[in-house]
Structure 1
């Protein structure tokens, strides 16, 4: 009999501020297109209002999401559970899937100093740059970066930028200029003990990595393999760093839901 140890309770932040990371189970993508990103942000805004959250920063990537949040009217774990369940229900409905969407519980770290608060904001905004998706942070519209620069972002009226910008100047224009310089400064920031994101593989690179794992089997043959054998191949391929589920489905010519369930 396997005895499960109780989960260790999270240490409460003295400031109530947390850096939170949601990750897809088995490194799977949790956002596939604009509709998914919009849905997650709509859910986040809904619970910001309902639970009186303060949201300092966010960035949604393909298989994970970063949030910088101040706890509201209930324990942060309860609020994150509501958000996770709401998005998972939407995801399973849209893609006709079942099972766990997220990797265990969300990860979090306490943010208890102003200097670390600023560092986490920059780290979050630079995620798509470090992943090689964009050249500068403001090009990625699924983060809060543009809001700090005075540009429109989705959704409106969700970003609480005042505390951060006030640390740069009481004059809003000067604060935005100084924050942008800080936000785009080269650095070695690492938060939540997470390694810096690797670049996503191109389809050509992905095919080369896939072939290494297929052995004598050709890519074109995989979709015709018996179910158990095909699923075993797909599980091995899903372990390749920098390869998305959508790429796997496209390269093998199978449905996204089939790759997800393997």
Structure 2
């Protein structure tokens, strides 16, 4: 039985997620995160400008990528990325079988508001998972690049930062994202106290 073809539109932005099989970790050591980012960078170069990473976050058992496409379907980019990384991971840890759970998930970004909210959601993932207290403390996301703490690599933040006043874009984006931190922390705190 073949998988149903996904709807895809050229020159669009998608929120792509891929999760470990049975929610297992797909990153176990720092080398794994670094290798994934190298493969991501290689895939951008391989497809010669057909895809652009707007932001990302690598969690222990899943990834989030906000991906802009041109005229090539996202399946080519994601299948290359996932298959090369799965070969690396399975070879390193002597595993057999699928690394990822089902196919990747992709959501079409249909509005400016959805674009902004999705970038914030991606960058706040480590807070929701109680891994860090502030999003810039997490090493494996593009957030530190957005706020100017690190030099940009792999990503193009211009489209998202363009929603903010030009002379203060990075600081305004930081305020936009971090305005939700307290709310998330109080929510996750009440969940843990109820368990």
Q: Is the 8 A contact 1:14 1:112 kept in 2?
A: no
- 1:57 equivalent to 2:55? Answer yes
Equivalent residue of 1:11, what SS? coil
- Of the two structures, which has the highest relative contact order with CA contacts closer than 8 Å and spacing of 6 or more? 2
- 1:42 equivalent to 2:38? Answer yes
**How far does the alpha carbon of each residue in 1:34-53 deviate from its partner, in whole angstroms, 9 at most, with x for none?**
10000001000111122222
Supply the RMSD in Å over aligned alpha carbons.
1.9
Where in structure 2 are there 5+ consecutive unaligned residues?
Answer: 182-187, 190-195
Give the aligned partner of residue 76 of structure 1: 74
Q: Following the alignment from structure 2 to structure 1, what is the Cα–Cα distance between the partners of residues 162 and 68?
A: 17
| Structure of higher CA gyration radius | 1
Q: Which runs of 4+ in 1 moved over 4 A?
A: none
- 1:164 equivalent to 2:134? Answer no
Moved more, 48-57 or 133-142: 48-57
Give the superposition deviation at 1:78: 1.4
Q: Is the 8 A contact 1:125 1:144 kept in 2?
A: yes
TM-score normalized with structure 1 length: 0.66
Give the aligned partner of residue 192 of structure 2: none
Where in structure 1 are there 5+ consecutive unaligned residues?
Answer: 188-197, 200-262
Equivalent residue of 2:17, what SS? strand
Q: Relative to 1, partners in 2 of residues 1:71 and 1:14: Cα closer, same or farther, differing over 3 Å?
A: closer
Indicate which of 85, 88, 91 corresponds to 1:90.
88
Equivalent residue of 1:126, what SS? helix
Q: Is the 8 A contact 1:17 1:69 kept in 2?
A: yes
TM-score normalized with structure 2 length: 0.87
Q: Is the 8 A contact 2:10 2:70 kept in 1?
A: no
Give the superposition deviation at 1:120: 0.4
Indicate which of 125, 144, 147 corresponds to 1:146.
144
Give the aligned partner of residue 180 of structure 1: 174
Give the superposition deviation at 1:123: 0.1
1 or 2, which has the higher strand percentage? 2
